[in-house]
Amino acid sequence: MIRHDIKGLYAITPDIADTYQLCEMTQQALRAGVRYVQYRNKLADDRLRLTQAEALTALCRDYGARMIINDHCDLAIMVNADGVHLGKDDMMVSEARDYLGKNKIIGVSCYNQLKLAIGAEKQGADYVAFGAFFPSLTKTDTVKASTRLLSEAKNYLNIPIVAIGGITLENAAKLVNYGCDALAVCHALFNTQCIRSTAASFNQLFTDIETISSS
């Protein structure tokens, strides 16, 4: 199985019906160096979801970025996306692996439960996501995760750890310092006046921590 180096800003798309606008916004993030994009639109019907997933997958290909589909393994196959992200109500990692094949990326939401993450890695997950670390404007039914979970998880996991939930430029550095490999951000990225500069600022946090670690 291929190991995927998931690192830096991990962009999660907002619920937008206008496909052109969605692609324009995503392109700004890609131009800033974002290499992982998750397509997530809870308000779209099947037809719109397919249209948007196809457009975003093609866009990510143009920028050498990875396209991840939230929840829908069938959609990931239809548009030949790079992988899926699974939640608690989706299929098991092992089932998704059989469905998608050995080289697709599978991420798993583990909320605030290290045990879930350990189990997901054993089943073949490529990365896990913990959160919410802060109050989220995207999802209101979240559980609270402690920043200490990130450093603790580093002692048990050999796959990338993604932090999610209410992350902004003002609070993100704390999560990076505690050891997360990537920051999954929606609202604080796409609801800004300049998506490109915001994305660059998020990625700079990882460059800064690498510089400190190597000095």
3-class secondary-structure state, position 77 = helix
Q: What is the pLDDT along the chain (215 residues), one digit of tens a residue?
A: 556 789 999 999 999 999 999 999 999 999 999 999 999 999 999 999 999 999 999 999 999 999 999 999 999 999 999 999 999 889 999 999 999 999 999 999 999 999 999 999 999 999 999 999 998 777 667 789 999 999 999 999 999 999 999 999 999 999 999 999 999 999 999 999 999 999 999 999 999 877 766 65
Any idea what the Cα angle at residue 3 is, between residues 156 and 101, rounded to 5°? Answer: 110
Q: Where are the alpha helices (DSSP H) in 168-194?
A: 172-177, 187-190
Distance of CA 52 to CAs 25, 84, 95, 158, 215, Å? 13, 15, 25, 33, 43
For residue 86, the surrounding DSSP H or E stretch is strand 83-86
Residues 55 and 114: their CA atoms lie apart, in Å, by: 35
| Catalytic annotation, residues | 40, 109, 139
Q: Is the pTM of this model over 0.85?
A: yes
pLDDT of amino acid 162:
98
Cβ atoms of 162 and 128 within 8 Å: the answer is yes
Q: Measured between alpha carbons, how far is 193 from 41 in angstroms, rounded to an integer? A: 21
